[in-house]
């Protein structure tokens, strides 16, 4: 059994075709698409290959572009929503903010059978949060969604994918969350902790060949961590070069 969870952000209109080809590639290879709640219920104990599509933050293009692609293929997605982005109309943490989904678009998203999860209220990095602030970020996001849409989110995604033993323990102590997603690449299977789900970060413009390579690397944790360490080291080296005066 293999259950892979894909993680996207926005899907620009000019990437809609490539995004559709990615999904068609998985479906053509025999992957069975499942919603997140369905995957938690059935995928870990079933044979076969299962695929779940998720989105972080709440960019408007998820509802305006990605939803049409998903609906055409009968794929049910999950949007991990930053509720303050919707209130302000933009994803303000970015250097170049994107438009956020509207409540009406999110209502249509739910009516089409998709799910909404929490990505906190303001996308705060939880590793630096005092306990009270941590609880407020999660519960406020849930309260806002329930008040505006009549829908209670059960799934959570750690902002920036950042988590440690403390953030994990706090989430577990709060209770009421069916799952929590990281950005650790790889496969979820029997025995996977639902509060530490693995997800593969994706870009919608990648070719199917690039997607296959990324998933293959993510399926080998040792290789993935080695490549990530090398990438971070190279990024640090470039930053030092940029600040060095010759």
Tens digits of residue pLDDT in 12-62: 999 999 999 999 999 999 999 999 999 999 866 678 899 999 999 999 999
The whole-number pLDDT of residue 154 equals 97
SS3 state at 229? helix
User: Domain count of the chain?
Assistant: 1
| Tokens 């999950």 sit on residue | 78
pLDDT by position in tens, the chain (length 246): 689 999 999 999 999 999 999 999 999 999 999 999 999 998 666 788 999 999 999 999 999 999 999 999 999 999 999 999 999 999 987 788 999 999 999 999 999 999 999 999 999 999 988 888 999 999 999 999 999 999 999 999 999 999 999 999 999 999 999 999 999 999 998 889 999 999 999 999 999 888 888 888 765 555 555 545 555 455 555 545 555 544
In angstroms, the CA 178 to CA 77 distance is 16
Expressed as residue numbers, the domain containing 13 is: 2-243
How many other CB atoms sit within 10 Å of the CB of residue 61? 21
In angstroms, the CA 176 to CA 199 distance is 21
User: Which CATH number covers residue 72?
Assistant: 3.20.20.370
């Amino acid at each position: 059994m293999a259950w892979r969870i894909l993680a996207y952000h926005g899907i620009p209109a000019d990437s809609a075709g490539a995004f559709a080809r990615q999904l068609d590639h998985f479906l053509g290879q025999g992957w069975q698409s499942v919603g997140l709640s369905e995957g938690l219920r059935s995928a870990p104990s079933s044979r076969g290959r299962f695929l779940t599509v998720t989105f972080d933050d709440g960019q408007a293009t998820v509802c305006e572009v990605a939803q049409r692609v998903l609906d055409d293929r009968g794929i049910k997605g999950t949007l991990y929503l930053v509720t303050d982005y919707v209130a302000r109309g933009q994803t303000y943490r970015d250097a170049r903010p994107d438009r956020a989904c509207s409540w009406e678009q999110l209502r249509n998203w739910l009516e089409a059978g998709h799910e909404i999860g929490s990505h906190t209220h303001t996308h705060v990095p939880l590793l630096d949060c005092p306990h009270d602030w941590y609880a407020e970020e999660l519960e406020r996001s849930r309260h806002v969604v329930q008040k505006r849409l009549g829908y209670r989110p059960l799934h959570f995604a750690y902002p920036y994918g950042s988590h440690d033993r403390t953030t994990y323990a706090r989430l577990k102590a709060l209770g009421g969350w069916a799952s929590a997603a990281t950005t650790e690449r790889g496969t979820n299977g029997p025995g996977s902790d639902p509060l530490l789900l693995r997800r593969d970060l994706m870009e919608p413009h990648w070719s199917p060949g690039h997607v296959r390579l990324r998933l293959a690397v993510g399926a080998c944790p040792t290789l993935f961590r080695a490549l990530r360490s090398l990438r971070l080291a190279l990024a640090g080296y470039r930053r030092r070069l940029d600040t060095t005066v010759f």
